[in-house]
Amino acid sequence: MRKLELLVAILLVVAMLCGGVFAAVYALGAQIQLAAAMLVLGFGSLAAAMVVWERRLMPGRVSIEDRGSLPSGEEKNDAAAQTLLAGADAIVGRRTWLVRLFGGAIAALGVGALFPLRSFAPRLTGIDQLSHTSWKFGIRLVREDGTAVRASDLENDSILTVFPEGRVGPQFIDEMANDATVLVRVPPAELALPPARATWGPQGLLAFSKVCTHAGCPVALYRAKARQLFCPCHQSTFDVRTGGGRIFGPAARGLPQLPIAIAPDGTLHALGDYPEPIGPGYWERA
């Protein structure tokens, strides 16, 4: 027993020292690993001391406690129920119409109190804004820093994230989240665009929404030689050559394609907004 007492004593002294050293570590530059080591050693020793103390130094004994019985018995249940009913009777009596009015008052106040919740969604009136982005006819494609993109800036196997001109910068972050578009270039001969979009890939330049149609992650990985866009979040994969068609993964739709054209000065501009709402599906989406 004396040995164990000594052990507990040593552990407690270690814990005490650790407290002191911890304070010293903080004062002398607060090195994180040293401080953490002191906490580990200090609290570890304290825990060990208490466990050894409880297990080996304290007299062992078993205690037995009567649980008692949770159920109070039928009699008391009945009495409680009786009191409830009697009280209710005193309130209601024959005044059931008053009770109905009371219920109505509570309901009206409750429903009324729900209305301020609507303030949490100030932009709920604009659900249809989900189906638009800032892209419009004639808007030029610009980089993250606002500089215009020229057709000659991209070669085959290139990818660039672009935004509508005038909608970049810290004050437009919300718009940029949904306007983000990837511009890629592939040899025009490889294209197999749907007939309706035959002209949407001028000189092999194609623009797709960067917002995954599955869960909204940026589809930022481009396997250039395979002409595939790949979402790092849930591995949905889209084929650039077929106009963003889905080829693998949990996304149910392909990536929306942005119609673009090359202006005479070589810059690129949009021919309109995305033909369908970008990003994941939602109830109001037609």
Partner 1 sequence: MIVRRLVGALDERIGSSSFLKKALDKVFPDHWAFMLGEICVYGFVVLLLTGTYVAFFFNDSDHATIYRGVYAPLSGRSVPASYASVLYLSFEAPLGLLIRQMHHWSALVFIGAIVLHMSRVFFTGAFRKPRDLNWTFGVLLLLLGIGAGFTGYSLPGDLLSGVGLRIAYSVAQSIPFVGTWLAFGFFGGPFPTHEMTQRLFITHVWLVPLLIITVMSLHLGLVWRQHHTQFAGPGRTERNVVGSTLWPYYAMKSIGLFAATIGVVALLGGFFTINPIWMYGPYDPWKVASPAQPDWYVAWLDGSLRLGPALAVRLFGHTISPLFWSGVVLPGALFGGMLAWPFLERKITGDRDAHNIVTMPYETPWRLGLGVAVITFATVLGFAGSDDIQAKLLHVEVEKAMYAYRIALIIAPPVFGLIAVAIGFDLRARFETLAGKRQIRRASLTRNADGGFDIDHKKATPS
Partner 2 sequence: MRRRAIGFSVFTFAFVMCVVATTSPAARADSAEQPRVPSHRAPDTAGLYVDGIPPSVRTHGTGSRAAHLDEGTVLYDVHCTSCHGADLRGTKSGPSLMGSGGVGVDFYMTTGRMPLAIPGTQANHMSPHFDTGQIAALDRYVGARATRSIPIPHVVLDEGRLQAGRSLFESNCEACHGVGAQGATAGGGWTALPLWNATPTQIGEAIRFGPGVMPRFTQAQLSPTDIDALATYVRYLATTPQTYGGTVMDYLGPPAEGFVAAFAGIGMLFWIVYFTGTKADGRRIGAYEDD
Whole-number minimum distance, CB 211 to partner 2, in Å? Answer: 14
Q: Which two tokens stand for residue 244?
A: 């963003």
Window 216-235: residues binding partner 1 (CB under 8 A): 216-218, 220-221, 232-235
> Quick one: 83 or 152, whose CB is closer to partner 2?
152
Q: Which does 159 bind (CB under 5 to 8 A by kind): partner 1, partner 2, none?
A: partner 2
Alpha-carbon dihedral of residues 157, 160, 165, 166, nearest 10 degrees?
-170
Q: Residue ranges of the alpha helices (H) in 116-205?
A: 173-179
Q: Does 166 bind partner 1 (CB under 8 A)?
A: no
Q: Which does 40 bind (CB under 5 to 8 A by kind): partner 2, partner 1, none?
A: partner 1
Residues 44-73: x where in contact with partner 2 by CB under 8 A, - otherwise, as a string: ---x---x--xxx---xxx-----------
Q: Which does 12 bind (CB under 5 to 8 A by kind): partner 2, partner 1, none?
A: none
Beta bridge partners of 183: 160, 207
> Quick one: 38 or 186, whose CB is closer to partner 1?
38
Residues 168-207: x where in contact with partner 2 by CB under 8 A, - otherwise, as a string: ----------------x-----------------------
Window 83-112: residues binding partner 1 (CB under 8 A): none
181 within 8 A of 209, measured Cβ to Cβ: yes
3-class DSSP state for residue 229?
Answer: strand
283 within 8 A of 274, measured Cβ to Cβ: no
Look-up of token digits 């040995």: 3
Residue 147: CA count within 13 A, CB half-sphere? 4
Q: Does 36 bind partner 1 (CB under 8 A)?
A: yes
Beta bridge partners of 161: 182
